[in-house]
Amino acid sequence: MSGDRGSRDILAEENSADREKLVGMLEKAYWMEIETVMSYVANSVNPDGVRAQEIKESLAADITEELGHAQQFAARIKELYGVVPGSKQFSAEQDYLQPPAEATDIPAVIKGVIEAEAGAIAFYNEIIDFASEHDPVTEDMVIAILRDEQGHMREFEGFLKEYEAEGLA
Ligand SMILES: [Fe+2]
Ligand SMILES: [Fe+2]
């Protein structure tokens, strides 16, 4: 690290406090993606019934995207002189995506997915806010990820609308 690269450079020594704050946010985002992968794997398999099929297929397709997000966050942590945390640092938070009591309870899964995506959207907007002042490269990366999450959330809002229209959610 050289100290004379100018104040805009997130890799400059003088910006180490901002960089460490950003790395902390990226670590949290990384864990959110990893937990989402776990939850989507489970929920792409567990649900029963004819109506579950569409949801299971959609979640199965999203797993690859969420894993890709985790990999992008990991790569950016490393680029910012951080260390991608080990698995023993993980602590689960997605109460709302645990298997429902009934495997045919599709609305519970849909609502859980919407909550996960809404949480990611809120937190990634925070990262974008901070990065917009300190690190346009991270800002750019997270904007692209944010768009994916918005797409996921909108799709599941559409699924929920159908259940609500039929009085099932
Ligand atoms: Fe994601
Ligand atoms: Fe997502």
CA of 165 from ligand 2 middle (Å) equals 24
Q: Which ligand is nearest to the CA of 150?
A: 2
Q: Which ligand is nearest to the CA of 151?
A: 2
| Amino acid letter for position 85 | P
CA of 157 from ligand 2 middle (Å) equals 13
Q: Which ligand is nearest to the CA of 115?
A: 2
pTM passes above 0.85: yes
CA of 148 from ligand 2 middle (Å) equals 6
* Whether the Cβ atoms of residue 100 and residue 109 lie closer than 8 Å to each other: yes
CA of 133 from ligand 2 middle (Å) equals 25
Q: Give the Cα separation of 126 and 132 in Å (integer).
A: 10
Banded model confidence at residue 4, pLDDT cuts 50, 70, 90: low
CB count in 10 Å sphere of residue 44: 19
CA of 33 from ligand 1 middle (Å) equals 5
Name all contacts of 142-150 with Cβ < 8 Å and 24+ positions apart. Answer: 142/29, 145/69, 145/72, 146/121, 148/65, 148/69, 149/117, 149/120, 149/121, 149/124, 150/117, 150/121
Per-residue pLDDT reduced to its tens digit, 24-83: 999 999 999 999 999 999 999 999 999 999 999 999 999 999 999 999 999 999 999 999
**pLDDT value for 7:** 76
Q: What percent of the chain clears pLDDT 90, i.e. is strictly above it?
A: 94
Report the mean per-residue pLDDT for the chain: 95
